[in-house]
């Protein structure tokens, strides 16, 4: 008689799936309309002289959302706006801590200084991001879903001359707001690539939720 106490291995039969195949992989979260209304996209017009820099920033943020600082693919559903929010939060914190101000020069350009990133860390690997086939990117704008508080802090740094106005005109600022966004993200990416700043996450079900950043 067959031994009925012997357990059968469900993975021993030919053609069966492997145990690893049963582990779910995180997928991008499908956003509903009410979520989009509560989390608007902030769009910033980029000055012509910074278009190339802005395009590089856009590419690097997209890469950081797809790959970690060691060049390994992220499988946690991190979005471009998740990473952009971490970067802008870090840059705004640093600008406040270091008392960085934005002001136009006599030539109409702005100056921004920051200290060199801490030396000694191996630079982060940023592979080319996967191409976006669904929509055409706007080269004259940077657009991300971060918080209203972040947007207000950016406006304050740009010198908002009409804070109570609903106008999106870039001329209401002492310094072009798109230029401030570029410089802030440029600063954050500089430290990210030097690995003196790293994003922090908390696990939530299969998808990891970004919680902020930490100095390394």
12 domain-assigned: no
Reported as a single tens digit per residue, the pLDDT across 119-166 is 444 566 677 776 665 555 556 899 999 999 999 999 999 998 888 877
Asked if the structure places residue 135 within a domain, the reply is no
- Which residues constitute the domain of residue 41? 35-124+141-215
For residue 114, being part of any structural domain is answered with yes
157-183 pLDDT, tens digit each: 999 888 887 777 778 898 899 999 999
Provide the sign of the torsion angle of the four alpha carbons 74, 207, 85, 96, taken in this order: negative
131 inside domain = no
Residue 84 within a domain: yes
Does the residue 112 lie in any domain? Answer: yes
Q: What is the pLDDT of residues 25-72, one digit of tens each?
A: 555 555 566 656 777 899 999 999 999 999 999 999 999 999 988 888
Instruction: Work out how many domains the chain is built from and give that number.
Output: 1
3-class DSSP assignment, residue 2: coil
Tell me the mean pLDDT in the region 93-100.
88
pTM of the model: 0.69
Q: Is 74 inside any structural domain?
A: yes
| Cβ proximity of 129 and 56 under 8 Å | no
Question: Length of the chain in residues, anyone?
Answer: 216
Would residue 18 count as lying in a domain? no
């Amino acid at each position: 008689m067959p031994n009925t106490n012997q357990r059968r291995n469900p993975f021993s039969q030919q053609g069966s799936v492997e145990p690893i195949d049963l582990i779910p992989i995180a997928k991008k979260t499908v956003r509903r309309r009410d979520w989009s209304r509560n989390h608007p996209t902030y769009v910033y017009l980029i000055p012509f002289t910074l278009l190339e820099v802005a395009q590089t920033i856009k590419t690097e943020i997209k890469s950081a959302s797809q790959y970690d600082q060691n060049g390994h693919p992220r499988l946690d559903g991190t979005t471009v706006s998740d990473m952009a929010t971490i970067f802008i939060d870090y840059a705004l914190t640093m600008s406040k801590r270091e008392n960085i101000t934005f002001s136009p020069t006599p030539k109409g350009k702005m100056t921004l200084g920051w200290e060199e990133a801490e030396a000694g860390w191996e630079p982060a690997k940023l592979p080319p991001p996967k191409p976006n086939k669904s929509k055409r990117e706007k080269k004259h704008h940077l657009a991300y879903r971060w918080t209203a508080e972040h947007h207000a802090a950016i406006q304050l740094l740009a010198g908002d001359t009409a804070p109570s106005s609903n106008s999106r005109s870039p001329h209401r600022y002492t310094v072009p707001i798109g230029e401030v966004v570029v410089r802030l993200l440029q600063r954050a990416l500089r430290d990210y690539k030097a690995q003196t700043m790293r994003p922090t996450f908390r696990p939530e079900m299969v998808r990891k939720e970004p919680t902020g950043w930490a100095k390394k």
